[in-house]
Amino acid sequence: MLVGLSVMVPQLSSIEVEAICKIRLGPELVNDKLIWTKSKLGTFTTQSSYRCFIDQQPTSSSASSIQPDFPWKRFWAVKCISPRIHIFIWRLLSNALPLRTKTGHYIQGFDKICVLCGDEEEDLDHLFLKCRVVREFWFTSPIGTRVDHFSSIHDLISNWINHNDNAYRLGACLLWHFWKGRNRKIFDNIEMQFGNIFSAAMCSLSDYLPGVIKINVDAAYKEYKFAAAAIARDHNGLYLGCITKIGVAISVEEAELLAYSLGLTFAQRFTANSCWIEGDSLIVTNWINDSSLDIPWRLIALVNEARILSSSTSVNCVSFVRRCCNMVADSLASYAFKFSIDDCWNAVFPPACIEEAIACEHSSSSLLV
């Protein structure tokens, strides 16, 4: 070792040489080996490396140091929430979201102003608590609260958690979809619509709540002919039944509207439960949810009928979902269109034509949550 040290001395600082010389050698010479100094035994453990990061991280990015009183144990004990949303909230609490002030910190000249209000810089508390847009969002949301008296977003979230798990679940789903709305505004230039965010949040909430039934709807349309389909499943994705209907329609919007109506009518069979209707037509979802929108005169009667059905006790909300998340209803509608099938299935097992789509959805959701 001494020979090795004399060779390496020019490469080392005097402090390092001094530290090496202080190492006590045992009575017997043993071969040198690499050790992990952060654990007692000198072997690497993830626990010791985690402690190392926690001890060394700057206070600005440490959620625990920002909020030492945050109820982390209760936070991690919350069940029946999408893991994706729960992890998003953890990232938010850890100040790990790519907010505009953060990006601006690394890119000179980057516009840090909040895209929602255009008044102030977008930091964590501004975006989720203090922006005039988010204050209106919270007040009109299903939570229906004024947030002026909360000092930080951590304060608001810990208030939900200390209240009960349901308050946290709802708040977390609203935060997640508000963030997605903010991203759509930035990247796709799509204006944020509170009604759609509330509906999407309620559906995300329902996905993990026992007793809730989700009915996906879709339509296939070609040359004035259409097939509509609706499929019902519980919160575990267990198949409960499906229905198809064929007929004529003047446009694809009318066909989609008829599919939503089919799903809403199908929901009446599950009166003891709360049904959530999901379809991939944004325009039809908006027509049903927003009475202030102008409706094509040919479709006014159908939209009104759908609105009446959506206000029944068995229906909780009607919401939009991307087409890639609606493939089971899409497959059923295509099959019904191809073979002109007007039928209803209440059997324990789904019809063979959608088995593959159901299997695909299960595998992709298990990867994506």
> Among residue numbers 240 through 259, which ones bind Zn ion (CB under 5 A)?
none
- Regarding 116 and contact with Zn ion (CB under 5 A), the answer is yes
In the complex, minimum distance from the CB of residue 133 to Zn ion, in angstroms, rounded to a whole number: 6
Restricting to residues 301-360, which ones interact with Zn ion according to CB under 5 A? none
* Choice from 81, 93, 99, 114 touching Zn ion (CB under 5 A): 114
Give the nearer residue to Zn ion in terms of CB position, either 114 or 284: 114
- Report the nearest approach of Zn ion to the CB of residue 116 (Å): 5
Instruction: Give the nearest distance from C-beta 189 to Zn ion in angstroms.
Output: 17
Query: Quick one: which of 131, 156, 258, 318 contacts Zn ion (CB under 5 A)?
Result: 131
User: Shortest distance, CB of residue 127 to Zn ion, whole angstroms?
Assistant: 7
Distance in Å, CB of 328 to Zn ion, minimum:
39
Contacts by 157-162, CB closer than 8 A, 24 or more apart: 157/70, 157/89, 157/93, 158/67, 158/69, 158/70, 158/71, 161/71, 161/74, 161/75, 161/78, 162/71, 162/74
Min. distance of Cβ 135 from Zn ion in angstroms? 9
Query: Looking at 24-32, 71-79, 127-135, 217-225, which segment touches Zn ion (CB under 5 A)?
Result: 127-135
| First CA to last CA distance, the chain | 53
Residues in the chain: 369
Q: Are 209 and 165 in contact (CB under 8 A)?
A: no
**What Å distances lie between residue 38 and 25, 35, 43, 101, CA to CA?**
20, 9, 8, 35
With helix as H, strand as E and coil as C, how does 120-137 read?
A: CECCHHHHHHHCHHHHHH
Shortest Cβ distance from residue 151 to Zn ion (Å)?
A: 18
Closest CA to 160 of 147, 178, 179: 147
C-alpha–C-alpha distance, residues 279 and 284, integer Å: 9
Is the Cβ of residue 94 or residue 101 nearer to Zn ion in the bound state? 101
Q: Under rule CB under 5 A, how many of the chain's residues touch Zn ion?
A: 4
Nearer to Zn ion, 116 or 277 (CB): 116
Contact map string, positions 156 to 195, toward Zn ion, x by CB under 5 A = ----------------------------------------
Please, which residues have CB within 8 angstroms of residue 151's CB and are 6 or more apart in sequence?
none
CA–CA dist 190, 184 (Å, integer): 6
Residues 194 and 140: beta-carbon distance below 8 Å: yes
Q: Nearer to Zn ion by C-beta: 116 or 203?
A: 116
Stretch that binds Zn ion, among 90-98, 107-115, 230-238, 246-254 (CB under 5 A): 107-115
The residues that touch Zn ion, with contacts defined as CB under 5 A, are 114, 116-117, 131
